[in-house]
Every structure is written in structure tokens, then in C-alpha cells.
Amino acid sequence: MSGLVVLKLGGRVAADAVRDALAEAGGRAVVVHGAGPQISAETARRGIEPRFVQGRRVTTPEVLEVVRESMDAVNAEVCAAIGPAALALRGDEIGLRARRVPSLGLVGEPEPCAPVSILDALAAGRVPVVAPLAVGPLNVNADEAAAALAVGLGAERILFVSDVPGVLVEGAVANVLPADEAEAALDAGEFEGGIVPKLVAAVRAARGGVRASIGSTEVPA
């Protein structure tokens, strides 16, 4: 979809960063947000021990309840920051598809799709704000959900916005990290934590024909 930008906002910066991110997008945009810090804080408050596998949260029914509540809260904050043009959408309610990953519990790997609710919102001049849940319901990584939507919608660009300036390579932010190099580094275990799903998602988006950036780092196919 010519001119369309998908913005993935980390939960830590979502509401604060969305207006600047939309200004940078400069046109039609779909916003996908995370809620990682909020989920971690609430699971800790409830005494739920978090488990992660390669940066992805293992999700039990108890954790899924926290995920949904946290996503709803962040979604509301992001929509409030955008204003009347924002349209709150839950991925599981608009048909975001995902393949379940049994080893992670109620977690899915999102598949490229173009939900009608998003297309209708864009046609009406709205800004869809998508909470990354998939039909099931399943918890899906927000980076991967954003990439799947970007490919499915035929977006021109996807931008991953977080509290880090870009991808650190040998201690410095890389201006460009080609998809093949990123994938080789991931396979070699050179990255860990939250940057892993961002890189995986950026590589998928780039290979799906979408220009991908993690902060100031371009990830070309």
C-alpha cells in the first residue's frame, strides 16, 4: 500500500513517542504497540514468575489475562495521545492470524494479513492502533505482529521505535545492517534480549518487500 507506514512502539515509550513517530511517518500509518514493561510490572505485583525464551514471553492463561489488561491500558494511552483520529483495535478481534507455538504456551507467530478493520480505518482517514493479540486468543510479540501486518498490508515502510537508538554492533549503532548479516548474527547468538525479536521481525519485513528500520538502523533485504 503506497505511502503506508507501520509504526511499532515499545510499551515503555508508546504514548510519549507516538506523536513524533506519526510526524516522522508523514502520512497514513498503522500503530502497533507493545506493553512489555507494564506486563512485567503487573505479573510481579501478582507474584507470577516471568519466563522468557529468546526474548519471547511464555504465556499461561494467568499471564494472558495480564497481557490483555496491560495491552488495553497502553492502547488507551496511545489513542489518547493521538486524539480523535485514533481507532483502538485488538488483534484477536479483527482477525490477526497466528500459528501457535506450543513450547511458549498461549503464544503465536503472526502471519501476514490485511484485516478489513484496518483497511476501513485507513480509508476513513483514521489511525488504527493495534494491540498485538491474535485469534485464539494468543499472545504475539508486538515486533512480529507489526512486521506481519506491514507485509500483509503491503506497507512501504516499518519503523521500530523504542528507548534504544538503533542496533548496537561492536558497541556502536549501525547505520545499516543487511538482513543476511542480521540473520547470521542472530544464528551465531551475537544478540540477546529484546533486540532479538526486533531483528527477526525487521528481517521478515524487509524480505517481504517492506523498508525496515530499527531506530536509526536500516535493515535492507
HEC sequence for the chain: CCCCEEEEECCCCHHHHHHHHHHHHCCCEEEEECCHHHHHHHHHHCCCCCCEECCEECECHHHHHHHHHHHHHHHHHHHHHHCCCEEEEECCCCCCCEEECHHHECEEEECCCCCHHHHHHHHCCCEEEEECEECCCEECCHHHHHHHHHHHHCCCEEEEECCCCCCEECCEECCECCHHHHHHHHHCCCCCCCHHHHHHHHHHHHHCCCEEEECCEECCC
**Is 14's pLDDT higher than 80?**
no
Q: At 60, which CATH number?
A: 3.40.1160.10
For the segment 108-137, what is each residue's pLDDT rounded down to a tens digit?
999 999 999 999 999 999 999 999 999 999
- For residue 55, the model assigns a pLDDT of 64
Compare 122 and 50 and report the one with higher pLDDT. 122
- For residue 192, the model assigns a pLDDT of 85
What domain count does the chain have? 1
pTM score above 0.75: yes
Average pLDDT over residues 189-215: 93
Average pLDDT over residues 14-39: 90
**Is 1's pLDDT higher than 80?**
no
Q: Would you tell me how many other CB atoms lie within 10 Å of the CB of residue 119?
A: 13
**Is 194's pLDDT higher than 70?**
yes
**Would you state the cell numbers that stand for residue 182, as one nine-digit string?**
542480521
User: What are residue 168's DSSP bridge partners?
Assistant: 173
- For residue 99, the model assigns a pLDDT of 97
Average pLDDT over residues 54-81: 92
Distance CA 202, CA 211 (A): 9
- For residue 27, the model assigns a pLDDT of 82
- The one-letter code for the residue type at 79 is C
Q: Which domain holds residue 94?
A: 5-218
Q: Are strands 29-33 and 108-110 parallel, antiparallel or unpaired?
A: unpaired
